[in-house]
Structures are given as structure tokens and as C-alpha cells.
Amino acid sequence: MGNQTPREVLTKFYADNNLGANGGLASSYVKIELNSWFHFYFPNFDARRKAVLKHDVHHILTEYKTDLSEESEISAWEIASGCKSYWAAFLIDTSGLVMGIPLNFWGTLKAFARGRKTKNLYDKRFSEEQILDMKITELRKQLNLDTYTKNTQPTFVDFILFFLFTIFGIIHSIISLAILPFIILYSIYIELMMRDSKPRRK
């Protein structure tokens, strides 16, 4: 994969992870699969669309998968490497990092430590076209991901900063509970819409 470009591998990445065409970029909603039978939906919005391509390429470059456990890792990595002006990514990543504390503490902490030593694509050093057409090996080199792997060990400073950000993340999550009823109602609405759109047997 290293000698390929993101443009060459994204279609397979979307198909393998059931993310839809273009990672669901044009979809009106985002699906969060908690397991095979229980999931939430929330509205897709422009600020998230702005970040989604770079987030998907981050998955390829960092080799974090899209299950809940490793989504918490890439969330921690993006937080630590900097979300810059991508506020939607920052808020979603904050929730992902907090989710990783009980689910995957050590992996999330290591990803945070890795993020502090690497860079990401949110700093706008490359246009989307450049990102899509650069070799994956070159992108990893530009972001220091060829040096710092998923097994990057946290330092004491990493642990302290992770702890401090976790406090902020928990406060953010508590405040976010206010929109949970809306998310539940929206999820029920989307499920009913999809059920009605399925062809019925005669």
C-alpha cells in the first residue's frame, strides 16, 4: 500500500468499512455503529464534511481501524496532533477520546502520545488534491508517521496532558448529554425511513 496514493486505496477502504460512496460525504446523516444491532445516527453537516476526507486519509496513514476501539485511538491522535480550525473534528474527537478511556485506555493513551510527536493533515499544508495524489509513504514521512508507530510509548508529560484533557473531555461529554434525546429521536426517525424505503415482498 505504501507505494499507492490515497486516491487509489480510498474506494476499497470505504467498501471494506461499509462507509458508503466517498465515505458518506453526500449523505444527510452519519451512522455510528455501537455493535451489529445497535447504532445511532446524527445529521451530517458542512463542518464535518470539511474534515471527513482528511480524517479518512488519517485512518490509512496511521493504520487505525474504524471499530469503536481504534476510533478512540485516532480521536486521541488527532486531538494531540492538532485539529486546528476543524472544530467539528475537535468536538467529535473529544467524545471519541473519552469513549476510549474505559474501552481502550492504554491504546488511547499511546495514540495521544504518538499525536504529540507527529503532525496531521488538518494544518492545510497540502490541498485535498495533493493529499489524494501523493504516495502514502511520502505522506507518512511528511507527518513523521514513518518514525512514530502505533506502539509509541507515552512519557510522563504525555500522561499528565492526557489526564488534563480527559477532564475537559468529561465536562464536554456531560454537557453533550443535553442533545442525547434529540439524537435518539433522530435515530428512530432514520431507522423508520430506511425501513419504509426497503422493497416489500408481494
Task: Provide CB contacts within 8 A for 125, sequence distance 6+.
Answer: 142
Q: What pLDDT shows up at residue 146?
A: 94
Task: Provide CB contacts within 8 A for 95, sequence distance 6+.
Answer: 75, 169, 172, 173, 176
Mark out the alpha helices in 39-148 (DSSP H runs).
46-62, 68-81, 87-103, 105-117, 128-133, 136-142
Q: What pLDDT shows up at residue 200?
A: 55
- Residue pair 73/104 in contact (Cβ under 8 Å)? The answer is yes
Q: Where are the chain's structural domains?
A: 6-196
Q: What pLDDT shows up at residue 191?
A: 82
Helix (H, G, I), strand (E, B) or coil at 29: strand
CA 93, 95, 98, 100 torsion: positive or negative?
Answer: negative
- Residue pair 75/83 in contact (Cβ under 8 Å)? The answer is no
Express each pLDDT in 80-108 by its tens digit.
Answer: 999 999 999 999 999 999 999 999 999 99
Q: What pLDDT shows up at residue 38?
A: 65
CA distances from 31 to 9, 64, 77, 190 (A): 22, 19, 22, 10
Q: What pLDDT shows up at residue 54?
A: 96
Question: Which ranges of the chain have pLDDT less than 50?
Answer: 202
Q: Is 126 exposed, middle or buried (0-12, 13-18, 19+ CB in 10 A)?
A: middle
